[in-house]
A and B are shown apart, each in its own frame.
Chain A
Amino acid sequence: MPDVQSTVVEFVNKLRKRKIEGSQATAKCTVELLRSVISHQRVPHANQAAALIDAVKAVGEQLVAANPVELAVGNVVRRVLHIIREEDLSLTTAAMGGLDLLDASDDDDVDNCKGIGYPAMSAAVVAAAARSTLRPPSLQTLLEGTPESATVPYTSSSGADSESKTADKSSLTRKLKHDVIEGVNQLIHEIAGCHEQIAEQAIEHIHQNEVILTLGSSRTVLEFMCAAKEKKRSFRVFVAEGAPRYQGHLLAKELVARGLQTTVITDSAVFAMISRVNMVIIGAHAVMANGGVIGPVGVNMAALAAQKHAVPFVVLAGSHKLCPLYPHNPEVLLNELRSPSELLDFGEFSDCLDFGAGSGSIQVVNPTFDYVPPNLVSLFITDTGGHNPSYMYRLIADYYSADDLVM
């Protein structure tokens, strides 16, 4: 336990000092940390789920407070809490003898499991597996989701555990923890594999000879375009440079290295170029519950331009970017103001930085993120498929328990 505590403190420190950047990296670190918290947590005989939930919540609160702007942390914590609740629920139902475990192993579906053992009746895992098999979602498959879960397999590795389905408390304790950890492992895989999952769908969205506009740099966007390129689609990419950090330059470099036709434009040229563009694709920092998007600064402008010219505005987001919160005052509260030195040279401008009484001084504002309201977004592509902005609330209900929305 003490070493877990110290890793928690270390991670909190890193978050606080903004040493981890990028929501995927943060999400990955968070979920791995939570896994070790869970595995080190000693579980009492009674009310085990509550003990785990409390432990995760306690750590989660620290992490969220450390960097409230990085929403992925909170999302992952809520996901883990959701997993615990689901597992607990399924175990209690199992204990009541309502359902029997399935012993049949169906090896045909193993590719969906990515080699992880599924203990049968692990509800969250079942749901996750259901989501991945049922992409793209339709009303019917959603309604039929529960019955189909019965066919979800588990491998022999966890067989020993599942077969000893006694009412013995100690094994039950072990089982809950075990199931939760399995569920968390699944989540880790999901986060790690979200790029590929999203990129798989590229071929359906990018067509021959199209012109795609993107802004800033996002690994998801890069993989998405490369996936389309690998499928022999030929298309052109305009990259808005994404001032003041100019991450678009890096993206352009990568794209060219992979053999894509790439043009770099300034952010201010977006409106001029939009008439030639078939689709705008951007990577999100976070997707809010109302379908609004937090993305790199300048995105809102691109979205408005796209709307004016009726160009589809597509947002790529891994499921760890789905945030169950509603944006309230997003320009300020969900934003990070970085150093003005990215805009201005302190050496040259130190003269105008108000040391003379009365003379005006330069104020510099350098926000990192932009908020795009849901009505400007045409489509979300997540690892579970394409969704409408108005559908986001439904996805969120799948991933999170209502109890955890307010931490």
Chain B
Amino acid sequence: MGAQKKPAVARVRDDSEDLTRQRLQAIVLADSFTTQFRPITLERPKVLLPLVNIPMIDYTLAWLESAGIEDIFVFCCVHSSQVIDYLEKSEWYSRSNPNLLVRTIVSPKSTSVGDALRYIYEQQTETSQIQGDFVLVSGDTVSNMPLADLIQEHRDRKKKDEKAIMTMVIKKQSRLGLGSDQLFIAVDPLTKQLVRYEEGNARIGDVCLDKSLLDSTVLLCNDMQDCYIDICSPEVLSLFEDNFDYQHLRRHFVNGLLVDDIMGYKIFTHEIQSSFYATRIENLRSYDMVSKNIIQRWTYPFVPDINFSGKCSLMLGRQGIYRASDAVQSRSADIGASTVIGYGTRIGNGGKIFNSVIGNGCSIGSNVVIQGSYIWNNVTIEDGCEIRNAIVCDGVKIRAGAVLQPGVVLSFNVVVGRDFVVPTYSKVSLLQQPTTEDSDEEMEYAGSSSGTADLLSGVHNLQIESKASELGPDGTGYIWEVCDSAHDEEWKHSVVPIPMDKLADITRAMDDDDIEDESVVPPAGELKSDTDSINTDANDDYGYFEREVEETFLMAIIKDDVDHVIRLINSRRFAYNMASADCAGAVFYSMMRLAVNTPHNSASELYRNATTIITKWKGLLGFYLKQIDEQIEVIMKFEEMCEESEELGPLFAQIVHFLYDKDVVQEGAILRWGEEKAGADECDKVYLNQCEAFIQWLKEASEEEEEEEDS
């Protein structure tokens, strides 16, 4: 859009200024590249979702403006037209502040932060928009911290040390309430250099640290919150370009940089004073938390009664009730503390509304109970409804007597039927749940914009065809299924405050950990969080690594390019800090999995599958199986697999033989394995016995060879 035309004009002006000083620039990613807000984000980009009646991106832009940023690049991909439309109408484009220039960059194809930054880098060569250090934030950041000093600090450090390319903002805060994953970081206490960054889910209670780190003083923290506010030097963009497989800013880029000691780039941290607020809205849980914090004015001056974004502001009354001047409310309605009521909203008799946000133009009937919920704009709620801890999007109709149980999310224009009870944690949308789960989780919405249109046009058919919908006889909308794995975690991310019992569980787990000695492994349980202990056991990590390698491998099969796969796997290997042997094991594991998963009727057919795959990817295996140790590792891995899979068991000897034939595994390795296993228990020897004949043959062959050599 404007991005192509404007820079030329802007540059003329900038160049003259450039001589004296750099303009402060920021890149705002108007896409979270996650699926946390589905199904809402299928129809509207996350950054435009109202947060206490003001779109999230306004908070980010207002903060950047007040922090003295002069150039803001808004990067849009999915739903880019909606974002651009909004910005063009908003006051950010009307240049009310002559020192602020907001521009958009559009790249509909980007599906991750990595893609986005690579696209910006490509653009850079033509337009050179980014002139120096820039602030990288996502469009869902709510903050009131000052940035100027921080940028200066980053620049000074950069001047002294060329390799200090990024400064990451961290903050002391309980992460529990935000529903985000456990974060563990290790920082050099003097220089504030980041040496380890580990973001795990609750299951990873243990963290493994490189021994070399312990030579110097290291500060280990697990009570920090990553604000996802980064000051980056231009090198960051080129690094993304060089490493085309970097997708995720933290998981790939930061960890990649920390592991890679050849280039020696450094990342520093900056802990902000706790008097400032900085949080990113990652999921519905943090949406709820941040909304409450805004109502309680922690984000001052970005609060509803201050008009910071050009919208009409609300009036603040006693008990933290914000009310629009033209809201109509029945005398018998009971409006409780910490409630926001938007413009043109009407509230009927006898309602009870507390701890909730009601948007503009809503009409609420009599005797409605709304508690801890977020009702967006133009929602109609008929008499006698009960809504607890739910999110209700624009244009929804809730017919009389319906009940929304805690954790419900109603997407745009859904109609809930009369007296229907929407079960807890369910997500309802007019769009059907995509049946094929995208392998790439990073996408907010994978399809093109025309795809959305198709889906939407399908909605009309739906209304005609099936009157009896999933939401009662006179309702419309599909209830989305929650995938099994996520179900346990649902309470953690949903808009409902964390239930007391779960909370007690977590705090208990934390307390236990505090008391425990470092050497004691925390009790098995869902949540082994918050241990500072240094544990060299990396089994869990390996599990993840293995899974990722398998994914990569499966993806690569389609492409059929050995070099490409090797590059991808290597990147994973660095990210997880794995040895070559681990890679070999993981690669072989994925091949066998593929073989087992390929449809087959008999053992011989399975064998044939395996052999074809091995023959085809011999080069790949060969790359990792250069050392005898690595080959042994593969055989052991295979043994493990056979124990798990009944089908493979009988084929063990055959496949090992095949590997030997194809020169993937050398005889030395097999013999060494045999020797190692010879001392094991009888039950462990099943596969050794299977190979007895083969090993015997190998031994003889080698003896013969030796004899020949001797003679």
Contacts and interface: CB of A to CB of B under 8 A. Distances in A.
A357 B497 contact: yes
Interface residues of B, number: 44
Interface in B113-153: 144
Contact of B96 (A10, A341, A348, A359): A10
B689 interface: no
A65 B315 CA distance: 12
Interface string A359-392: 1000111100000000000000000000000000
A342 B503 CA distance: 28
Contact of B296 (A10, A65, A332, A364): A364
A340 interface: yes
B274 A347 contact: yes
B686 to A, nearest CB: 52
Contacts of B171: 347
A354 interface: yes
Nearest to A356: B503
A346 B500 contact: no
A341 B499 CA distance: 27
B177 A351 contact: yes
A365 B321 CA distance: 12
Interface centre among A65, A350, A359 (most CB of B within 10 A): A350
Given A332-B318, A340-B297, A357 B496 contact: yes
Contacts of A347: 171-173, 274
A353 B97 contact: no
B176 A351 contact: yes
Interface string A1-24: 000001001101100111100000
Interface in A138-185: none
B62 interface: yes
A341 B98 contact: no
A18 B176 CA distance: 33
B316 A337 contact: yes
B174 interface: yes
Interface string B158-174: 00000000000001111
A356 B497 contact: yes
Interface string B683-707: 0000000000000000000000000
B437 to A, nearest CB: 30
A280 B73 CA distance: 53
A275 interface: no
B37 interface: no
B303 to A, nearest CB: 8
Interface centre among A332, A340, A347 (most CB of B within 10 A): A347
Contacts of A341: 274-277, 298, 300
Contacts of A337: 297, 300, 316
B66 interface: yes
Interface string A220-236: 00000000000000000
Contacts of A340: 296-298
B111 to A, nearest CB: 32
Contacts of B316: 332, 337
Contact of A339 (B285, B297, B308, B338): B297
Nearest to B172: A347
Interface in A327-345: 332, 337-342, 345
Interface string B309-326: 000000011101000000
A53 interface: no
A355 B293 CA distance: 11
B296 A353 contact: yes
B307 A66 contact: yes
Interface string B509-521: 0000000000000
B497 A354 contact: yes
Interface string B84-124: 00000000000011100000000000000000000000000
Contacts of A66: 307
Contact of A351 (B174, B298, B496, B497): B174
A338 B307 contact: no
B177 A358 contact: no
A66 B297 CA distance: 18
B220 interface: no
A339 B500 contact: no
Contacts of A366: 297
A357 B296 contact: no
B443 interface: no
B98 A345 contact: no
Nearest to A331: B318
A342 B202 CA distance: 33
Contacts of A356: 497-500, 503
A105 B689 CA distance: 125
Contacts of A345: 274-275
Contact of B298 (A13, A17, A339, A355): A339
A354 to B, nearest CB: 6
A341 B299 CA distance: 9
A359 B503 CA distance: 11
A347 B221 CA distance: 14
A284 B301 CA distance: 23
B500 A359 contact: yes
Contacts of B174: 350-351
A135 B276 CA distance: 48
B458 to A, nearest CB: 38
A18 B500 contact: no
Interface string B266-289: 000000001111000000010011
Contacts of B620: none
A346 B299 CA distance: 11
Contacts of A10: 96-98
Contacts of A363: 296, 320, 337-338
B46 to A, nearest CB: 21
Contacts of A16: 306-308
Contact of A17 (B176, B277, B301, B503): B301
B66 A17 contact: yes
Given A16-B306, A17-B308, A366-B297, A355 B97 contact: no
A405 to B, nearest CB: 20
Interface centre among A6, A356, A363 (most CB of B within 10 A): A356
A357 B288 CA distance: 12
A94 B496 CA distance: 73
Contact of B301 (A9, A18, A348, A351): A18
B292 interface: yes
A346 B96 contact: no
A22 to B, nearest CB: 16
A29 B172 CA distance: 39
A354 B292 contact: yes
A10 B94 CA distance: 12
A110 to B, nearest CB: 41
Given A10-B98, A341-B274, A357 B498 contact: yes
Contacts of B296: 340, 353, 363-364
B502 to A, nearest CB: 9
A18 B299 CA distance: 13
A198 B300 CA distance: 34
A18 B338 CA distance: 23
A350 B172 CA distance: 10
A19 B338 CA distance: 26
Nearest to A358: B500
Contacts of B306: 16-18
B297 A338 contact: yes
Contacts of A17: 62, 65-66, 301, 306, 308
Interface of B: 62, 65-66, 96-98, 144, 171-174, 176-177, 274-277, 285, 288-289, 292-293, 296-301, 306-308, 316-318, 320, 337-338, 389, 496-500, 503
Given A13-B97, A346-B173, A356-B499, 9 more contacts: A10-B98, A332-B317, A340-B298, A348-B172, A351-B174, A355-B288, A357-B496, A359-B500, A366-B297
12 contacts: A332-B316, A337-B316, A339-B275, A339-B277, A339-B297, A339-B298, A341-B276, A346-B298, A347-B172, A357-B389, A363-B338, A365-B320
Q: Which 6 residue pairs across A and B have the least CB separation, nearest first?
A: A339-B300, A355-B177, A347-B172, A347-B274, A357-B497, A341-B275
